[in-house]
Structure 1
């Protein structure tokens, strides 16, 4: 899978990251990191200097998400940034909420960062391919971090609206799929959900963004929100190496209309077309050539 500076991989996307954040919140928000076991010096890039010492004794004040990144604001006025990359997993053991009664498992080969909290919970970052990342930054200036500073608005936020999207795509010569994948235009969308959004909108992913009518572009905003909300509600997708924090698989992939359904009948009512797979910029695109125009 192609790795990119603006997000590195197609997985996980915003719904998966939001699912992980929501799973972590009741376990670690407000809790103190008692020990931090940093088991290697780097992931996708070098881990921050003195990471173990900087995390030990810090309280997690707030857990948020920006695009595909989880952000933990700490009592030390620093923020821990976490990116799952292609194969990263965050696993919880021993928490006090009643869901986990077993002892902490012995660290495995690819358990690279292990955090123990004052409530007995352990959070482990496991990443077999080391495409994930962690960093520490001053909380006050986190929006200027090199991974965050150029991001567009959140697709579920108020800054992402019809007028904004129409203005940003005006005159753009790139395919509409590439435009929606551009993290500077809208943050957090990836290959899977863009395919789903464009299918619901009936827009061919190859269409030049700047040549699509304002009315059709406007429909992308509520459809984007609907697709993401459904995926988050379903617990995120579980393709390849993704897992939820509780170890269970998400299941939104069973609701995909076109993604990874090459040759299947188009689910659009009244359409007798079939899903087709094409390649755009090295990535698979799934669409119905009959009803997406």
Structure 2
């Protein structure tokens, strides 16, 4: 992914990763939110960022996408220095490559599902309406909503709207997709349908960074897990290692509380992640 309009990364070691954050600091007013974050995400990886509320997880995603700019440190995406972009055109060029699925669905309520999916590819990427609609129908089939193309967001459940939001992000054919607590606003009965879609994307090899409170899901689908607290990375490593034998006492305490809700009852078995949810290996 290269563009003469964007600034190249000048550090070869960092360019090996699709996403690389180095010593990232960001403060809102007098409140430090990120305090020296380092993070690597390699192409094809699924990386989950976990941690208590207010630990800077969502802020990290916004720095990666260029929605926020750190006061110190570097943010790169496939060799592009995101923190050094200077024009709106450069920022838009970057965001064409990054899909972002938010907590709230942010669908256009006055547009049909099909129009929600085709608006950006036609207006931003210059695709023909026919091409965009063909892609949209294929994506709706992928997320299990082939029959909802002509429905409006208000006619869909929360889980269906979030799946449309995922399909809309995919319609831009991103190389990287960011998920920010995409199940937190959903009814528990609809969480599984969204998790299944994300799991299939991971299986397809799409590079994903997820901020999530769904611990069993993170354990099942992630190549790596990053635990943050108070704006710093406390622990990182392969998912199974972090969940089964975390090094930090703080990570152990967090996971113990986060997974305690699974004691006695388990979420429904959402294929293909049933093995993770049914596993007895939740103890930390």
> Which has the higher relative contact order, 1 or 2, with Cα contacts under 8 A spaced 6 or more apart?
2
How does the TM-score come out when normalised to structure 1?
0.30
How does the TM-score come out when normalised to structure 2?
0.30
Larger Rg: 1
